[in-house]
Amino acid sequence: MTTAAPAATTAKAATQNACKLCNPLGACLAFRGIEKCVPFLHGSQGCATYIRRYLISHYKEPIDIASSNFNEETAVFGGSHNLKLGLKNVTQQYRPEVIGIATTCLSETIGDDVPMILREYAAMMGSEGPMPTMIFASTPSYSGTHIDGFHAAVLSAVRTLAEEGPKRNLVNIFPGMVSPADIRYLKEILNAFGIPFVLLPDYSQTLDGGPWAEYHRIPPGGTPTSAIATTGSAAESIEFGSTLEAGKSAAGYLEAKFGVPRHHLPLPIGIKSSDRFFAALEQLTGKPMPEIYEDERRRLVDAYADGHKYVFGQRAILYGEEDLVIPMAAFLREIGVLPVLCASGGKSGLMKKRLLELVPDMEELGIKVREGLDFVDIEKEADELQPDLLIGNSKGFAMSKRHQLPLIRIGFPIHDRFGGQRLHHLGYRGTQELFDRIVNTVIEQRQNASPIGYTYM
C-alpha cells in the first residue's frame, strides 16, 4: 500500500456554494432513527426550523425537532433555564422515551455545560416519575460537517444505553448515513442470514413510512432503546464508513468498552465492497450467502457485462460525503468509469489514503482526490477535467446546468427529484440500481444527441 499525502484542499478563505451541511443536522437525522425519540437542538429556534425544512425536502416526511429557543438574554446568561423548560414541555406533549439533544454553534460558543444541566434537570424532576432517556451529542457547527454530527449522535446513543452482558448471538450494524431504502435492504439481508441484529440508527420507517391510521406524536419505527442496550453484548459490530475513526464511532466505543470486535468496512457499493460485506456475514454466521443474494450478484455481473460498452471510458466527477465518494469511486472503476475528481466538503485528512486502499492504481490513472472543497472549486476543476458525468447530490445542479452535464443523483440531499429516500446504493441490489441509472443516463445523452431518432442505442 502506498502512503499518500493528504488530499489537497481549497485555496480560498471563504466557502462559495458549500458541499457540506452543518454538524447538528446529522445528529437530528440519527436521532430520528431511535424509537420514540424527539430530537432537540440547544440553541436558536432557527436552527431547528432550517434543519427540519431541509431534511423534510429530501425525505418528504414530517420531522419534528424541538429547540430551547435562545433569546438575547439566554445568549448572554446561558441556556440552562430554556433547556430545562424545553425538555419539560417536550416530555409533556410528546411523551417520548428518548430526547436526543444536540448543541449548536450558539450554545457551544457560550460554553453551556449540557451534561451538567441534564444532571440538574434529572435531580429536579426526580420525584415526578420516569423521565425520558437523555442522549446528548456535542455538535458545534463550526467544526466538521453533518457527518460528524451523525456519528456523534450514534456514538452518544450507544454510550448512554449500551450495557455489558454475556456475549450473545447478535450483530450490531452501524451503517452510517444511508437511505431508508438502504436500511430496509440491510435488514432484509441480516434476516436472510438468520442472525439477530441491532441496526442503529434505523430511520427506514420514521423517514419513509405510510399514512397514519391514527395520530402519532412521534412517527412509528426506529431502533428501540432496549435493543441499543444489548449492543454491549453483541458478538461483533459491523460499521461502514471509510474515514470513520474508531475513536469517534459507536463500534469503536463498544470494542474499547465491552470488547465487541469492530469490523470496519467501506459502504458496500460495487461488487468488491459488497462481497466484503457478505463475506463478513458469512464468516460471522458460518452460513453461506443466501441464494437470493447469489442471484442478485449474478444478475449484477451479467449487467456489467451487458452494459460495459456504454459506460467504459466515461469520465465522472464524484462529490459528496467522503464515506460515500470513496466506495463509489471504487465501484466506478469496476465498471470502467474514470472518476477524474473525487471531491468532498468534508476534511478528514484520510480520503486519499482510504481511496488508495480500494483503488491502488488511483495515481497512475490520474484520479484527483480533494477534500474541503466547495462547488466553485469543483466547477473550476470541471473546466479543466472535462467530465462526461456528474455524480452526487442535488446541489450539483447549477454546475450541471452551466456545463451541460448530466447529473446522476445519489446520497443526500436530493430535493429536485422525487423519491430520494427510496434510492438504493448498497449491496448488489443498490449497485444494480446505480449501474442501471448510470448506463441509462449515458444512453439518454446519446439518444438525444443523435440526429436520427434511434430507439435502439
Partner 1 sequence: MEAKIHLPDPSLIKEELINRYPAKVAKKRSKSIVINDPETIPEVQANVRTVPGIITQRGCSYAGCKGVVLGPTRDIVNITHGPIGCSFYSWLTRRNQTRPENPTDANYITYCFSTDMQEENIVFGGEKKLKQAIQEAYDLFHPKAIAIFSTCPVGLIGDDVHAASREMKEKLGDCNVFGFSCEGYRGVSQSAGHHIANNGVFKHMVGNNNTPAEGKFKLNLLGEYNIGGDAFEIERLFEKCGITLVASFSGNSTVGAIENSHMADLNVILCHRSINYMGDMMETKYGIPWMKVNFVGAESSAKSLRKIAEYFGDAGLKARVEEVIAEEMPKVKAIVDEIRPRTEGKTAMLFVGGSRAHHYQDLFTELGMTTVAAGYEFAHRDDYEGREVLPNIKIDADSKNIEELKVTADPVLYNPRKSEAELEELKAKGLEINGYEGMMKQMASKSLVIDDVSHYESEKLIELYKPDIFCAGIKEKYVVQKMGVPLKQLHSYDYGGPYTGFEGAVNFYKDIDRMVNNPVWKLIKAPWEKENTEALEASYGA
Is residue 308 involved in binding partner 1 (CB under 8 A)?
A: no
As measured in angstroms, the least distance from the Cβ of 416 to partner 1 is 9
Nearer to partner 1, 30 or 51 (CB): 51
**Contact letters (x/-) for partner 1, 47-66, by CB under 8 A?**
xxxxxxxx-xx--xxxxxxx
Strands, sheet with 197-199, edge to edge from the N-terminal-most edge strand: 197-199, 171-174, 236-240, 262-265
CB atoms near residue 190 (< 10 Å): 19
As measured in angstroms, the least distance from the Cβ of 33 to partner 1 is 17
As measured in angstroms, the least distance from the Cβ of 62 to partner 1 is 4
**Integer angstrom CA distances of residue 272 from 4, 245, 278:** 23, 22, 10
Long-range contacts of 217-222 (CB under 8 A, 24+ apart): 217/93, 217/94, 217/95, 217/96, 218/36, 218/37, 218/38, 218/64, 218/94, 218/96, 219/61, 219/62, 221/35, 222/32, 222/33, 222/34, 222/35, 222/36, 222/37
Is residue 9 involved in binding partner 1 (CB under 8 A)?
A: no
Site residues (CB under 8 A) for partner 1, limited to 266-305: none
The stretch among 106-114, 119-127, 129-137, 419-427 that binds partner 1 (CB under 8 A) is 106-114
Nearer to partner 1, 13 or 123 (CB): 13
The binder of partner 1 chosen from 1, 5, 72, 286 (CB under 8 A): 72
Grid-cell match 446561558, residue found = 78
**Contact letters (x/-) for partner 1, 110-139, by CB under 8 A?**
x-----------------------------
Is residue 140 involved in binding partner 1 (CB under 8 A)?
A: yes
As measured in angstroms, the least distance from the Cβ of 136 to partner 1 is 16
User: Amino acid identity of 40?
Assistant: F
Helical pair 322-334 and 271-285, crossing angle rounded to 10 deg = 110
The stretch among 163-171, 208-216, 269-277, 444-452 that binds partner 1 (CB under 8 A) is 208-216
Report CA dihedral (90, 248, 348, 3) to the nearest 10 degrees. Answer: -170
Nearer to partner 1, 50 or 272 (CB): 50
User: Amino acid identity of 116?
Assistant: M
What is the C-alpha separation between 169 and 197, in angstroms, rounded? 9
Nearer to partner 1, 187 or 216 (CB): 216
What is the C-alpha separation between 186 and 199, in angstroms, rounded? 9
**Strand, coil or helix: what is 108?**
helix
Site residues (CB under 8 A) for partner 1, limited to 404-443: none
Give the angle 5-11-14 at the CA atoms, nearest 5°. Answer: 130
Using CB under 8 A as the binding criterion, the count of chain residues that bind partner 1 stands at 73
As measured in angstroms, the least distance from the Cβ of 129 to partner 1 is 14
The binder of partner 1 chosen from 45, 160, 440, 447 (CB under 8 A): 45
Is residue 145 involved in binding partner 1 (CB under 8 A)?
A: yes
Site residues (CB under 8 A) for partner 1, limited to 78-97: 82-83, 85-90, 92-93
Q: Are 84 and 117 in contact (CB under 8 A)?
A: yes
The binder of partner 1 chosen from 256, 365, 398, 457 (CB under 8 A): 398
